[in-house]
């Protein structure tokens, strides 16, 4: 992910100053432990200013309205108490070439600031700090103690100190070519790396962009550059400094990320704010998606391993219980042939009552025949009691395995991240595991955004709905479905509940039924198979057992079709999903 460098931060501040200063702070909301949103209002517009100190995505810019969920963070509570109703009057860098922005907040525009809200955009050291007018720290997003840093502490009650000065030379448009070249070429090395090491404010992205604009390989050694190469590179350098001075930024997309210089763009962007919000929100959501998906996969793997081991143990003990009648029979034989027992015997062979075949019985030599028979009777009673206790436990753990496999199937349907809907569907799976007691409740728990099932159309135009997770499966089957619809599910294979919506009197063609069956096969654990058995029936014949977990259902009066997962994939690739669901979103599953 491309980090916010000095150029990006200055471009964001310039655009905010032009359209959003002065403005009134009406609300403060913290959506997570790295992001604060300030609700701003000017004479012409309202919006949300996002301040983010995420280690990979620290930034400043306009964003979407935050979700309407409770805000329980202490930092936002302090900001809300102090800043709401005041005016955001200035947004400035605290020093040249520093990635620290000072948001000055006064009672009225033009008055001396009462508060300073500092946003430090410095990678893993990023932070947000609120001070009063005299520079005393009142609240901080992330406190830094002396044990954490020997260079600079950041704690409430102490004076605010800027970060240590940056190393390197401060760029200047007045610096001549010869001096500038001498600074960079003092130690030979890759061109882009030498630019970053020598001058402040030059990020790896800017260094590579400067070199490419000059027609040079960014990894080329400075010792290999000729006079004309240095002249072209100096022209790019001056163009960059001129852009920073005039604030004439040109936001746009590149093949690998974004640019604000107007160079090497593959597409332009409407504004700096829109570009930054889209880029970083997408990448941070993708990171969160991959992390949560990995956590869920590991959690389900561990839960299933434990449940399956329990089932193996219970079956083994039931197998032992099945031998209880044999123990009683051996005790009966021993009691019938007491006269054949001799002291010190470790085993005895006695004739079967019915067949006369010899039955070998193990004995404990220190006990007599009666005592050995009593021992066998006791073991028989113990195993019979164990069978009665273990059978319901085995039934429960078998149901638990079926449920966890159903959740695992929902997780396996999720591919790469494409839209926020994918992340929300994943969060719903986590929420379900929390509700079922399989996952510890995380701090600052926030309910996920409600997602919608997959939507498709059959050749005849009928709507097909496929659940993304167990919550949606229950919603489709027991709330959405009507008496005229048809319900589809893979036979004895975990998968999504699929609903073919039908109007009263409508009769689906065989092609419509096949499409629904293909989708049911695709959204199941049988996705990799060529053909998968799929049952379908009317929703009134589908029941949820009492006490059953989410997504579990039983059915009757079913009919069977063979679903073809590969045909379903081709169907989705032909853009036959409804406008409400993009092709990319469908293909992600």
DSSP strand pairing (532-537 vs 454-457) = unpaired
- Predicted pLDDT at 448: 65
Q: Angle 191-198/204-213 helices, nearest 10 degrees?
A: 130
Q: What are the DSSP calls for 318-376, one per residue?
A: HHHHHTHHHHHHHHHHHHHTGGG--TT-SEEEEE-TTT--EEEEE--TTS-HHHHHHHH
Residue 250's pLDDT is 94
- Kindly report, residue by residue over 517-556, the tens digit of the pLDDT: 999 999 999 999 999 999 999 999 999 988 888 999 999 9
Question: 399 burial class (0-12, 13-18, 19+ CB within 10 angstroms)?
Answer: middle
Over range 435-445, report the average pLDDT.
76
Which conformational region is residue 575 in: left (phi greater than 0), alpha (psi within -120 to 50 degrees), or beta? left
For 102-143, how does the pLDDT look when each residue is reduced to its tens digit (9 = 90+)?
999 999 999 999 999 999 999 999 999 999 999 999 999 999
Looking at residue 119, the DSSP 8-state letter turns out to be E
Is the pLDDT reported for residue 444 higher than 80? no
Q: Give the pLDDT mean for 217-225.
A: 94
Kindly report the average pLDDT of the chain as a whole number.
90
Structure confidence at residue 440 (pLDDT): 83
pTM of the predicted structure, to 2 decimals: 0.76
- Specify the residue for token string 């073809």: 564
Q: Residue 501 pLDDT > 60, yes or no?
A: yes
CA distance 350 to 340: 9
Q: Can you say whether the dihedral through the CA atoms of 582, 584, 588, 589 is positive or negative? A: positive
For the domain made up of 177-269, give the CATH fold. Helicase, Ruva Protein; domain 3 (1.10.8)
Instruction: Spell out a b/e string for 407-444, using b for 16 or more CB atoms within 10 Å of the CB, else e.
Output: bbbbbbbbeebbbebbbbbbbbbbbbbeeeebbeeeee
Per-residue pLDDT of 446-481, as tens digits, reads 666 678 899 999 999 999 999 999 999 999 999 999
Task: Reduce the DSSP state of residue 418 to 3 states and report it.
Answer: coil
Classified by CATH at the fold level, domain 6-140 comes out as: ibrinogen binding protein from staphylococcus aureus fold (2.30.310)
Contact 497, 491 (CB under 8 A): no
CA-CA-CA-CA torsion sign (250, 254, 259, 264): negative
Residue 443: the pLDDT is 59
Got the DSSP string for 306-322?
A: HHHHHHHHHHHHHHHHH
Domain ranges of the chain: 6-140, 177-269, 305-410, 450-587
Report the 10 Å Cβ neighbour count for 549.
19
Measured from the Cβ of residue 187, the count of other Cβ atoms closer than 10 Å reads: 10
* DSSP sequence for 252-283: EE-SSSEESBSSS-SEE-S-HHHHHHHHHHHH
């Amino acid at each position: 992910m491309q980090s916010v460098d000095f150029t990006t931060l200055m471009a964001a501040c310039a655009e905010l100053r032009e359209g959003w200063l002065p403005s009134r702070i009406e609300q403060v909301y913290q959506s997570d432990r790295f992001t604060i949103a300030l609700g701003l209002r000017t004479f012409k517009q309202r919006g949300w200013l996002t301040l983010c100190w995420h280690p990979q995505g620290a930034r400043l810019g306009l964003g979407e309205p935050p979700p309407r969920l409770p805000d329980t963070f202490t930092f936002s509570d302090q900001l809300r108490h102090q800043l709401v109703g005041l005016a955001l009057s200035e947004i400035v860098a605290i020093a040249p070439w520093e990635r620290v922005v000072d948001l000055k907040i006064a009672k009225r525009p033009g008055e001396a600031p009462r508060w300073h809200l500092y946003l430090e955009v410095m990678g893993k050291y990023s932070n947000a700090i609120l001070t009063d007018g005299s520079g005393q720290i009142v609240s901080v997003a992330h406190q830094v103690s002396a044990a954490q840093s020997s260079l600079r502490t950041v704690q409430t009650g102490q004076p605010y100190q800027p970060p240590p000065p940056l190393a390197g030379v401060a760029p200047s448009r007045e610096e001549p070519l010869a001096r500038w070249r001498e600074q960079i070429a003092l130690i030979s090395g890759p061109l882009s790396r030498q630019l970053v090491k020598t001058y402040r404010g030059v990020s790896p992205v800017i260094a590579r962009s400067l070199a490419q604009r000059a027609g040079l390989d960014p990894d080329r050694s400075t010792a290999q550059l000729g006079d004309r190469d240095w002249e072209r590179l100096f022209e790019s350098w001056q163009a960059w400094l001129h852009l920073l001075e005039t604030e004439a930024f040109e936001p746009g997309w590149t093949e690998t990320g974004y640019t604000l210089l107007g160079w090497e763009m593959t597409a332009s962007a409407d504004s700096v704010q829109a570009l930054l919000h889209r880029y970083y929100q997408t990448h941070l959501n993708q990171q969160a998606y991959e992390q949560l998906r990995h956590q869920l996969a590991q959690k389900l793997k561990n839960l299933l391993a434990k449940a399956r081991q329990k089932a193996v143990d219970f079956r083994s003990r039931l197998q032992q219980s099945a031998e209880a009648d044999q123990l009683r029979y051996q005790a009966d034989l021993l009691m019938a042939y007491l006269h054949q027992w001799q002291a010190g015997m470790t085993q005895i062979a006695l004739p079967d009552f019915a067949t006369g075949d010899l039955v070998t019985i193990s004995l404990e030599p220190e006990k007599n025949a009666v005592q050995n028979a009593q021992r066998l009777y006791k073991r028989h009673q113990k195993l019979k009691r164990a069978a009665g206790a273990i059978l319901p436990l085995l039934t429960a753990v078998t149901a638990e395995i079926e449920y966890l496999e159903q959740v695992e199937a929902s997780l396996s349907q999720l591919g790469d991240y494409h839209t926020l809907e994918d992340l929300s569907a994943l969060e719903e799976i986590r929420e379900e595991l929390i509700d079922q007691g399989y996952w510890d409740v995380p701090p600052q728990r926030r309910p996920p955004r409600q997602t919608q099932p997959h939507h498709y159309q059959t050749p005849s135009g009928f709507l097909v709905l496929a659940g993304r997770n167990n919550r949606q499966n229950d919603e489709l089957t027991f709330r959405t479905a009507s008496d005229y619809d048809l319900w589809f599910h893979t036979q004895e294979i975990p998968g999504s509940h699929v609903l073919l919506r039908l109007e009263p009197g409508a009769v689906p063609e065989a092609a419509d039924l096949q499409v629904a069956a293909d989708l049911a096969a695709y959204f199941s654990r049988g996705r990799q198979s060529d053909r998968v058995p799929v049952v379908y029936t009317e929703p009134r014949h589908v029941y949820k057992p009492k006490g059953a977990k989410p997504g579990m259902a039983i059915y009757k009066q079913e009919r069977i079709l063979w679903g073809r997962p590969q045909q379903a994939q081709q169907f989705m690739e032909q853009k036959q999903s409804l406008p409400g669901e993009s092709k990319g979103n469908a293909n992600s599953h």
